[in-house]
Every structure is written in C-alpha cells, then in structure tokens.
Amino acid sequence: MTHDTDADVCVIGAGIAGVTTAYLLAMEGRSVVLIDDGTPGCGQTGVTTAHLSAEIDDGYTEIVRLHGVDGARLACDSHQAAITRIETICTQEGIDADFHRVSGYLFLSPEHGEQILHEEMAAAQRAGLEVEQLRHAPVNGFNSGPCLHFPRQGQFHPLKYLNGLIEAFTRSGGRVYGGVRATTVTGGKLALVETAPGPRIRSTAVVVATNVPFVDVFAIHTKQAPYYTYVIGARIPPDAVTPALYWDTHDPYHYVRVQRTSNAALGGDNDDVVDVLIVGGEDHKTAQASDTEERFGALEQWMRERFPSAAAVEFRWSGQVMETQDGLGFIGRNPLDADNVYVATGDSGMGMTHGTIAGMLICDLIQGRNNPWAELYDPSRIRVGAAGEFLKENLNVAAQYTSYITPGEVSSLDEITPATGAIVREGARKVAVFRDEAGEIHKVSAVCTHLGCIVGWNKAASTWDCPCHGSRFDAYGRVLNGPASKDLEKIASHSEDRANEHVQK
Ligand code: FES
C-alpha cells in the first residue's frame, strides 16, 4: 500500500472475523479494504484447533444463568448459524477446507459426577440445542464413560478456509494489504484509518477485528481477560479414533479432535493417509505461569491415559484466548466511539464460530439491517450475574502492578540462555531482555505500552506477553497483539558487562 485510498468499509485484521466481514460485505457489492500488520491468519486464527461447536464452552447452565433462556436460545442459534454459514461458503466458493460435520461429546472429568451432565443437558435443551445423554460415546479408540452427545457439530482447516475466503473476496473486487499496521482510527462521517507505513484509508465505516481491539482503553478491556492454552499433536493409526469433538468437564477443560492429512503434508515422502490426534488444555492466565514444559508434559500424560494409540508427540503450539466475563463475544459498535466504528473481540475459546458470527452481525449493522443477535453481543452490555467474574479479573489485573517492586527474574544476564528472555531490574526500572540465537542481547522496557503492566516472557511462543489485557510483543518488543498499539520502548544498548553491573535480583 503506497497511497491514501478510499473505500466504503475498512476492515482491520485478517483473521476469521475480519476476513468473513470483508467477504460478506464485498458479496453485497460494498467496496472493502482489508489490512493486516502481518499476513492473513498470522494471529490466533492460525493456531486455533478449529472446533466448530454450538455447545458454548462455558456450558449452557452458565449461559442461561447469565443471559436468561431467551439469550441462551439466541446464542445457540447464532453458533449453529455460524457452522452452517462456514459449510455453505465452502460449498458455494468451492473451498476445500476439510470441513466435516462431526459429533461432539462432553465427558466427565474424574472429579465430577453425572449430575453435572444432567444439568447441562437440561440447560442445552432449554437453549434449543439437540443433545442426548449416553452411557458412553459409540466411538473407536476412546472410552468416554457417561457423556453428552451433540450431533452435527463441525471441524475444518482454518487456514485453508481463510485463504479460500480471501480469494473469493479479491475476486469480488476486495483489496487486501498485508504488512500494514493501523495506528489510529477516527470515526465520524468520513472515518479515517492511519497506518504505520503512512498511507491513510478514508471510509464510511471501520471494523476493528484485531483479536483484541486497540481502539478501546477501558470499556471492553475491563470485561475480558487473556488466557493462554497449550496444544499437542501425535499421529494415530488411520481410523484408530473416530473423528469427533471431545472435551471434558474439567476446569480448564481438555479438548480433542482428529485431523486427517497426508504424510507429505507433514514433511514425509509419500501421500499415505495420516490421522493426527490434536489435544489441548492446561490453560492459565496469560503471563502468570512459566511452567511451560510441565504443562505440555501434563497434557501428554492426560492424552496417553485416554488415547493409548497415540504415537510420540510431534507437534506443540500454544495460543491466546480472550475470556469475557459472561461467556460470549463482544461484537458490534465500539463503546464510547463514533457510530461507524465496529469491533469484534472476546472469542471465549470459540473463535471460529464467534468470528463468523461477527462477520454476519457486523455486515447486517453496516448494511442497516436489524440482527436478532445484536443486543446479545453488544460490546456495551453489562450482565448483572457477571459482577463476580468482573471483580475477580480486575482484582487480578490490579495485583499485576505490584510487579514494579518485585526483583528481576535473573541476577546476571549470563543466566539468560540463547533464544530466551527474562525480566531484569536495572535500578528503578524493569527491563525485558532477550538473548538471540547468536548470543546478542536485546533490551526493551518491560512496561506494556497499553496501561503499564509489566510483561512476562512466554517460553512457548518466544514473545513478551502482558498479564493484564492480552497485549503481546515479539522478542524484540514489536507489538503483535493489541490492545497495545505501540512497540515496547527500546533501551539503548550498553555493553553486556556494563549492563550486568546494573542487574539486581
Ligand atoms: Fe493492558 Fe498491557 S495489555 S496493560
């Protein structure tokens, strides 16, 4: 992108929410510019395990408590419609995204009795979801015990889908610019998006779909919290485990599905069919745990106890989930902003359906149509029943500011091994220090550029993550994920010896 440009709508963020919104608007003849500071799908869409479920992951028992039966019915309707929309788009656009309808099974964690299943089944039925209780799931390779069965859920390959959607978008005249970071959004009759490279985009509406919006300071960030989740993948013999979505009642829950692929796709030298078991869980509040290896280890042990056909773990990755205080995403007009600035955030562990709902809902709002889900997902909403969660998460955020007075994590830069980072204290300030593969030290301020919490090193992703509202920065301090919109402040390099003099544990 080299020049200022005009469009009907500017969409910021090329993950599933942004791309779906851009695609649906383009299909209605609107002129749309889609920008992303990286490449499409380089954020959380690229690391999701892509469960497509209308059984909300907090459970309908909780959704009915927080949103009432009518709200739960709308939530169920919206997630079912999102799965159907993905299936329809794959068919209409000829996108081979490995979309399949599969059953979902919710099974008991050892600490729970069957009562929890009875209650959830009753709540899900009140929400309008088809569900039955079984003595065990009728599947190969897994002894579930008592479980709930949700027919006709789904799974797909999110990046194949995203790429197909972008091709369809550009065929319809949509414009996509990667490597363009939006820095400010000014709403109003003619909204203006300013970008880091310089060119500006003028439009009649702006959609901020950057996982966590950078255009909001308090209104949304106090109502959602960042959590980190871990995933492993291991080969299983073909058909050893029936493809389905499996998850348990543990808190945080474990989640499992099967992805069929080819040996060549995994780097092998033939096209033999390969099934990969994908297992996730071990979530914790972002940047508030550093036992990454232990968490991957616990996940593997959990898998081996339940899926004995799994071979060695070949794949490991992690991702961030934005958990809202009431279990549903924030989708609609940005609070305290002009009427033509829209946001989509708060994936709540269901980013693929919430992202698709965002596309459908925001498209309706921009096109001036009523949408029955608008009030349910309104980012300005406050649910009285969520007050306890709001208080708990915001007390947790307040507690993070005590990091200003705690010691550093290492007493000498020598303790930082290549390709890792640690927080050190230099006099009164905290410094985020990264040692690259070549042994060179890189230092940035550890103070998050959003609201000043102290970031922490994420071993699983080699990033600096903020424990307060989910901002993430690469090892050199460049912002990857909002709400922060600015990089961590660079600290002038001293020689390593001199820097060591200032390190205080
Ligand atoms: Fe808000 Fe860092 S994300 S202070």
Query: How many A from CA of 221 to the centre of ligand 1?
Result: 9
| CB-defined site of ligand 1, < 6 Å | 448, 450-453, 466, 468-471, 483-484
The angle that helices 158-171 and 16-27 make with each other, rounded to 10 degrees, is 30
Span 137-148, average pLDDT: 96
Q: Which atom of ligand 1 is nearest to the CA of 452?
A: 4
* Distance from the first to the final alpha carbon of the chain: 46
Break the chain into its structural domains and give their ranges.
5-46+159-222+327-393, 92-153+223-322, 406-498
- The mean-pLDDT minimum among 11-15, 72-76, 384-388, 492-496 falls in 492-496
Residue found by looking up tokens 């909001």 in the block: 216
What homologous superfamily does CATH list for 92-153+223-322? Answer: D-Amino Acid Oxidase, subunit A, domain 2 (3.30.9.10)
Please give the Cα distance from 57 to 329 (Å, whole number): 12
Is residue 485 very low, low, confident or very high in pLDDT (cuts 50, 70, 90)? confident
pLDDT of residue 155: 95
Q: How far apart are the C-alpha atoms of 361 and 207, rounded to whole Å?
A: 12
Q: Does residue 252 have a cis peptide bond before it, meaning omega lies within 30 degrees of 0?
A: yes
**Would you say domain 5-46+159-222+327-393 falls under CATH 1.20.140.10?**
no
- Alpha helices (H) in 6-145, listed in sequence order: 16-27, 60-93, 115-126
Of 285, 468, 487, 488, best ligand 1 pocket probe by most atoms within 8 Å of the beta carbon: 468
The ligand 1 atom at the shortest distance from the C-alpha of residue 467 is 2
pLDDT value for 499: 46
Q: What is the fold of 406-498? A: Rieske Iron-sulfur Protein (2.102.10)
Task: Provide the pLDDT for residue 501.
Answer: 43
* DSSP code per residue over 408-461: PS-SSGGGS-TTEEEEEEETTEEEEEEE-TTS-EEEEESB-TTT-PBPEEETTT
Give the residue with greater pLDDT, 127 vs 348.
127
Q: Are 272 and 263 in contact (CB under 8 A)?
A: yes
Give 453 Cα–ligand 1 centroid separation in angstroms.
6
Per-residue pLDDT at 46: 66
Element (H, E) at 443: strand 441-445
Q: What's the whole-model pTM score?
A: 0.92
Q: Is the pLDDT of residue 380 over 50?
A: yes
Cα–Cα distance list, 47 to 16, 43, 295, 433 (Å) = 12, 7, 17, 26
> For 198-285, where are the alpha helices, taking DSSP H only?
none
The arithmetic mean of pLDDT across residues 278-288, rounded, is 90
Q: What is the pLDDT of residue 493?
A: 63
pLDDT tops 60 at residue 224? yes
Say how many C-beta atoms besides its own lie within 10 A of residue 459's C-beta: 16
What pLDDT score was predicted for residue 412? 83
Sign of CA dihedral 146, 152, 157, 162: negative
Q: Considering the chain, what percentage of its residues have pLDDT values greater than 90?
A: 70
The dihedral region occupied by 439, where left means phi > 0, alpha psi between -120 and 50, and beta the remainder, is left
Let me know: does 211 contact 44? Beta carbons within 8 Å: yes
- pLDDT for residue 494: 55
Instruction: Please name the residue ranges forming H helices in 327-416.
Output: 351-366, 374-377, 387-400
CB 449 within 8 A of CB 471: yes
Give the atom of ligand 1 at the shortest distance from the alpha carbon of 400: 4
386-410 burial, b for 16+ CB within 10 Å, e for fewer? Answer: beebbeebbeebeebeebeeeebbb
pLDDT of residue 497: 43
pLDDT digits (tens, 9 = 90+) for 446-466: 999 998 999 999 988 899 999
- State the distance from the centre of ligand 1 to the C-alpha of 470, rounded, in angstroms: 6
